[in-house]
Chain A
Amino acid sequence: AQKVTQAQTEISVVEKEDVTLDCVYETRDTTYYLFWYKQPPSGELVFLIRRNSFDEQNEISGRYSWNFQKSTSSFNFTITASQVVDSAVYFCALRNDWNTGNQFYFGTGTSLTVIP
């Protein structure tokens, strides 16, 4: 079975604090991709990053960084020096070849509020 768990339902931080959003996944497939999306108040999900199951290198993009650890089945997302514009709901997702539909399996999302 495929499953993505985002245990943090809501997080509030004060501007300029660092914050980490957790994502834990389950899959029996050896080939899969993990994604992070941002959903601002406007509603549209915006793609942030993908990571394949064979690449455990961490990635940094500006204030964003991602830590992928297969040993713990986690793909965590850290925002450094948070800003008010980072306030949104963030979703982690898994996609693999196991099912014919190439479905995306989404976590329940983490709502981040950055307080000025």
Chain B
Amino acid sequence: DGGITQSPKYLFRKEGQNVTLSCEQNLNHDAMYWYRQDPGQGLRLIYYSQIVNDFQKGDIAEGYSVSREKKESFPLTVTSAQKNPTAFYLCASSIAGQVAAEAFFGQGTRLTVV
């Protein structure tokens, strides 16, 4: 079945550690997105990519980094510079260049700092 797979589902990070969240899709989508969800704040865009080897910062990119070496994969690294990383992270993909196309979402990764 086509879809987006995020792993792990739950992740615990110690202070000062970098952690990487995985996002893989087999929908052949060019566009991929990372969102952060906090209670009462909806979805905030961290980074997005419209094509392999290219990505742009979203609204809250500080303390995060991404790579897009393959069309199928868009991993997100939460660095130690992110002061409040505890949140629910959602990865999405969509057809690029078609404003009518909906986004498909993964099941999310819940990151907790311990």
Q: Say whether, besides A31-B99, A35-B102, A47-B104, A107 and B50 are in contact (CB < 8 Å).
A: no
- Give the contact stretch, choosing among A14-22, A60-68, A76-84, A89-97: A89-97
For the complex, what is the distance from the CA of A107 to the CA of B33, rounded to whole Å?
16
Q: In the assembled complex, which residues on chain A have CB atoms less than 8 Å from the CB atom of B58?
A: 103
Q: Within the complex, what minimum Cβ distance (angstroms) separates B60 from chain A?
A: 13
**Interface residues as binary, B11-36 with A (CB distance below 8 Å gives 1, 0 otherwise):** 00000000000000000000101010
Given contacts A45-B90, A106-B35, 19 further A-B contacts (CB under 8 A): A31-B99, A33-B99, A35-B102, A42-B107, A43-B110, A44-B105, A44-B106, A47-B103, A47-B104, A50-B100, A50-B102, A96-B99, A101-B31, A101-B50, A102-B96, A102-B98, A104-B33, A108-B42, A109-B42
Interface centre among B45, B103, B105 (most CB of A within 10 A): B103
Q: In the assembled complex, which residues on chain A have CB atoms less than 8 Å from the CB atom of B94?
A: 102, 104
Are B105 and A108 interface neighbours, CB within 8 A? no
Are B105 and A9 interface neighbours, CB within 8 A? no
B57-114 CB contacts (< 8 Å) to partner A = 58, 88, 90, 92, 94, 96-100, 102-108, 110
Are A103 and B100 interface neighbours, CB within 8 A? no
A37-70 CB contacts (< 8 Å) to partner B = 37, 42-47, 50, 52
Interface size band for A: 20 to 34
Which residue from chain A places its CB closest to the CB of B43 in the assembled complex? A106
Are A97 and B99 interface neighbours, CB within 8 A? yes
Chain B interfacial positions (CB closer than 8 Å to A): 31, 33, 35, 40-43, 45, 48, 50, 56, 58, 88, 90, 92, 94, 96-100, 102-108, 110
Which residue from chain B places its CB closest to the CB of A53 in the assembled complex? B99
Q: What are 5 of the A-B contact pairs (CB < 8 Å)?
A: A47-B102, A100-B50, A101-B56, A102-B50, A102-B96
Are B99 and A95 interface neighbours, CB within 8 A? yes
Are A107 and B42 interface neighbours, CB within 8 A? yes
For the complex, what is the distance from the CA of A6 to the CA of B50, rounded to whole Å?
28
Q: In the assembled complex, which residues on chain A have CB atoms less than 8 Å from the CB atom of B102?
A: 35, 47, 50
**Interface residues as binary, A23-39 with B (CB distance below 8 Å gives 1, 0 otherwise):** 00000000111010100
